[in-house]
Chain A
Amino acid sequence: GAVVSQHPSWVICKSGTSVKIECRSLDFQATTMFWYRQFPKQSLMLMATSNEGSKATYEQGVEKDKFLINHASLTLSTLTVTSAHPEDSSFYICSARWQRNTEAFFGQGTRLTVV
């Protein structure tokens, strides 16, 4: 299967600072990338869908000014958590797919802890 890599795997930041998470498709061009958040012992909740070269589409209840998504190239999307607070601590996972009817592959996730 195709490889999707996230960086960093884990990050600890101070409350009020911003943190950027990268999602890269290593061996294919991802026209669409998805960002999920997963709290402990819960399922994956879709935060936003980003298509290369256009603005991300956010799910209801997700603040677009707090979770900035950039999908500037076919192999890279970034999620920036701005002014992070302890309640933003979670496991953030991206997935990427080549085109509409193809399988989406998941990254290994990023554990964010805000202290």
Chain B
Amino acid sequence: GQQLNQSPQSMFIQEGEDVSMNCTSSSIFNTWLWYKQDPGEGPVLLIALYKAGELTSNGRLTAQFGITRKDSFLNISASIPSDVGIYFCAGQRETSGSRLTFGEGTQLTVNP
């Protein structure tokens, strides 16, 4: 099935640094979602974006829904060791029965 282009694939940063990742698509999505997955667990929703141009924060996390509706980014500020994990973007279209299309994921490693 179709996947979103998510980058970077992996990141190695020092504790305290800010991090940014993004997703792009060739087609429009009505909703963008960002998830975090820990090893051996299911994804947990971090931020949901419903309107083009929307900028939403959740603690140290900030995400934006691109104006074109074909992209989104997630920023994590002042990273801490527990931020380690895989971050996935997901897009949703009402015309697809509200199914989610996932990006390939960004593996984040935070060195203390």
B35, B42, B100: residue with the most chain A Cβ atoms closer than 10 Å: B42
- Beyond A42-B104, A93-B42, whether A103 also contacts B48 by CB under 8 A is yes
* A16-51 Cβ-contact flags toward B at 8 Å (1 or 0): 000000000000000010100000001111100100
A-B contact count (CB 8 A): 52
B25 interface residue (CB < 8 Å to A): no
Task: Give the residues in chain A near B98, CB-CB below 8 Å.
Answer: 32, 97, 100-101
Decide: A106 and B42 in contact? CB cutoff 8 A: yes
In the bound complex, how far is the Cα of B41 from the Cα of A108, in angstroms? 5
Nearest B residue to A101 via CB reads B98
B40 near A111: Cβ-Cβ < 8 Å = yes
Question: With an 8 A cutoff between CB atoms, is B56 at the interface?
Answer: no
B44 at the interface (CB under 8 A from A): yes
Does residue A60 face the partner (Cβ distance < 8 Å to B)? yes
Closest-CB distance, B72 to chain A (whole angstroms): 16
Interface size on B, residues (CB 8 A): 20
The answer to whether A43 and B88 touch (CB under 8 A), given A101-B98, A104-B100, is yes
Interface range, A side = 20 to 34
Residues on A with C-beta less than 8 A from B97 are 49, 57
- CA–CA, A100 and B3, complex, Å: 22
Assembled-state Cα–Cα distance A105/B40 (Å)? 16
When C-beta atoms are compared, the residue in chain B nearest to A97 turns out to be: B98
B45 to chain A: closest residue by CB: A103
With A49-B97, A49-B99 in contact, do A106 and B1 touch (Cβ < 8 Å)? no
- Chain A 79-100 interface 0/1 with B at a Cβ cutoff of 8 Å (1 = within): 0000000000001010101001
Q: Does B43 contact A (CB under 8 A)?
A: yes
Known: A1-B45, A34-B99, A100-B98. A109 touches B3 (CB 8 A): no
If A42-B104, A46-B99, A106-B44 are given as contacts, then 11 extra A-B residue pairs at C-beta distance below 8 Å, sorted by A number, are A34-B99, A43-B102, A43-B105, A45-B102, A93-B43, A95-B100, A103-B48, A105-B45, A106-B43, A107-B42, A108-B41
Interface residues of B (CB under 8 A from A): 1, 3, 35, 40-45, 48, 88, 97-105
